[in-house]
Chain A
Amino acid sequence: MARVIGDVILDLQNISLSFGGVKALTNISFDVREGEIRAIIGPNGAGKSSMLNVINGVYHPQQGRIVFRGQERRRMNPHEAAAQGIARTFQNIALFKGMTVLDNIMTGRNLLMRRNFLWNALYWGPSRREEIAHRRRVEEIIDFLEIQNIRKTPVGRLPYGLQKRVELARALAAEPSLLLLDEPMAGMNVEEKQDMCRFILDVNEQLGTTIVLIEHDMGVVMDISDRVVVLDYGRKIGDGSPDEVRNDPVVIEAYLGGAAH
């Protein structure tokens, strides 16, 4: 299937965020187009994760506007963001440790499930049908990410790489239109990275999901992303295609240093 990059789906304008007196983000603007893979790079402490947290409402910026799907807002709250189709994974895995892989992924479908607790207490008729229907969809995701063999395992017992994959599965279960990935490949070995790259590209191509990702591995970023934003000390210092960014003297100076060539 051919990839189609559409109009701007998410537009961030002049976002500033600070904690106490510490400025995490200063006047940052960039946009994300529908269907693209957009990377955010920058050294540690550049404000990358804060940026994602602003997009899905975990943090509330003091200044700036967020326009998502034509709707303008000062701030998101996480629940609203999820309801509008924004899903994400976390830098430090944020799975529900006490639950199985299957249950973790099923929580991702929470927003799509309609039956209230009284129906669920009976587990009868509509409630049962709903559970089964969503289970079916979740099994498709499980197949897609090739984690069939661990579906009944408590996530706490899984190795790191698999946990990352389960977290991706949980995010996908919500059928998001915008997927935020915070260092999806951190701490993985080469093979695991390759797998993860393939999954990300597949999600983007087959499901048409727009992806914003933070990643440290420059090779990966340059390979899979359409456009890259570069942050440094909470400011935007570069924005463009991987090639443009790679050759931007400001970026080279501040971030890549001499070692990039």
Chain B
Amino acid sequence: MIYREAGQFKASYEEDQQIFPIKQDRIVMATLVVATFLVVPFVASEYWLQAVLTPVLVFALAALGLNILTGYAGQLSLGTGAFMAVGAYATYNFLLRLDGLPFLVGLALGGLSAAAVGIVFGLPSLRIKGFYLAMATLAAQFFIIWVLTKFPWFSNYSSSGIISAQRIEILGFAFDTPVSKYLLTLAIVSLLALAAKNLARTNTGRSWMAVRDMDVAAEVIGIPLMKTKLLAFAVSSFYCGIAGGLYAYTYLGTVEPDGFGLDLSFKILFMIIIGGMGSVLGAFLGAAFILLLPVGINVLMHTSVGALVPATLASNLELIVFGVLIIFFLIVEPHGLTRLWQIGKEKLRLWPFPH
């Protein structure tokens, strides 16, 4: 009875094209926004803000970036970590070398740098597809990390390429507490998530999905393949770049090139597989799931159940669980947690009737 759309008539196409056409969804979303911006900062502990909520948001943004490329436009990338690294290091260098550059401008420039690099490594997508393209993004992954490690200019001649984020200051207000960093991250991620949703539901997103589903047909309809794919690479890398910047500035504070390695790329790929390909919500669900899973396993290992598991196995449990879950989701629910969420909503809509 709570979740019904009966009586909610749409009188215009405008109303039909809203992100949340059902009133209850809008209420939930509004509550969520209010809660995350106004309630969480006051009730969450510093640990939660710093070690859970901020990284979940940062990774959700990176996953969103990858989802744009892989989930929407259908171009598999294994180089997400490297594009994040470009964002982080470019932001650092812009802020370092241009005196008085506002933080947000530096961050945006970092994102744009990542977009530019993304376009370069996206160029092979015009000729090659599938795992061949995945190989091209692997090249990006290894090459970019190598460049950042080998050329000390990028890290201002620090040892082994480590950079320490400068203090964040926006309009004279310093973001140096966990709460303020969380809020800054939340604001940026929310805006970009909204933008991604808008892209996905308009002509841009439809072109991406068309290329993903059947590129020959897309071309015949008049969707320019080159422009569409490169745009996906650019926008995706922009998101990853911003995520990389936030990763360095609001989450870790200190990063090194190796921290953006292949493992990070895989982790983000897992987020979209488990969260849901081609869905904005999925990026958030996936990021939360993947980041909280090790915490959950850890907690479990410290209970009486954990005592039954041999120590060597316990330390590798995370790998095993990740592996099994990836295969499980690909087999059982290729659309991930998002689809489960939708099924739940369908059920709720019909409740108490089964059909």
Contact = CB atoms under 8 A, between A and B. Distances in A.
B202 interface: yes
Contacts of B213: 95-99
A122 interface: yes
B222 A99 contact: no
Output the residue of B17, B218, B220 with the most chain A CB within 10 A.
B220
Interface string B186-212: 000000000110110111111101101
Contacts of B212: 96, 98
B221 to A, nearest CB: 6
A174 B222 contact: yes
A108 interface: yes
Q: Chain B interface residue count: which class?
A: 20 to 34
B116 to A, nearest CB: 16
B235 interface: yes
B206 A123 contact: no
B206 A122 contact: no
A81 B212 CA distance: 21
Contacts of A139: 13
Interface SS of chain A: helix, strand, loop or mixed? helix
A207 interface: no
Interface in A164-214: 170, 174
Given A78-B219, A99-B206, A121 B199 contact: yes
B26 to A, nearest CB: 16
Contacts of A79: 219, 222-225
Interface SS of chain B: helix, strand, loop or mixed? helix
A113 B221 CA distance: 13
Contacts of A122: 195, 198
Contacts of A233: none
Contacts of A254: none
A87 B220 CA distance: 7
B222 A83 contact: yes
B13 A123 contact: no
Contacts of A94: 214, 216-217, 220
B276 to A, nearest CB: 12
Contact of B14 (A108, A128, A130): A128
B1 to A, nearest CB: 24
A215 B315 CA distance: 64
Contacts of B217: 90, 94-96
Given A98-B212, A121-B199, 14 more contacts: A56-B220, A58-B216, A81-B220, A95-B213, A96-B210, A97-B214, A99-B210, A103-B209, A107-B207, A111-B221, A115-B203, A120-B198, A123-B201, A132-B12
Interface of A: 56, 58, 78-79, 81-83, 87-88, 90, 94-99, 103, 106-108, 110-111, 113, 115-117, 120-123, 127-128, 130-132, 135-136, 139, 170, 174
Interface of B: 12-14, 16-17, 195-196, 198-199, 201-207, 209-210, 212-214, 216-225, 231, 235, 278
Instruction: In the A-B complex, list the 5 residue pairs whose CB atoms are closest, starting with the nearest.
Output: A82-B222, A96-B213, A94-B217, A123-B198, A120-B202
24 contacts: A58-B220, A78-B216, A78-B220, A83-B222, A87-B221, A88-B220, A94-B220, A95-B213, A95-B214, A110-B221, A110-B222, A117-B231, A120-B202, A121-B199, A122-B198, A130-B203, A131-B202, A132-B12, A132-B17, A135-B13, A135-B16, A136-B13, A170-B221, A174-B221
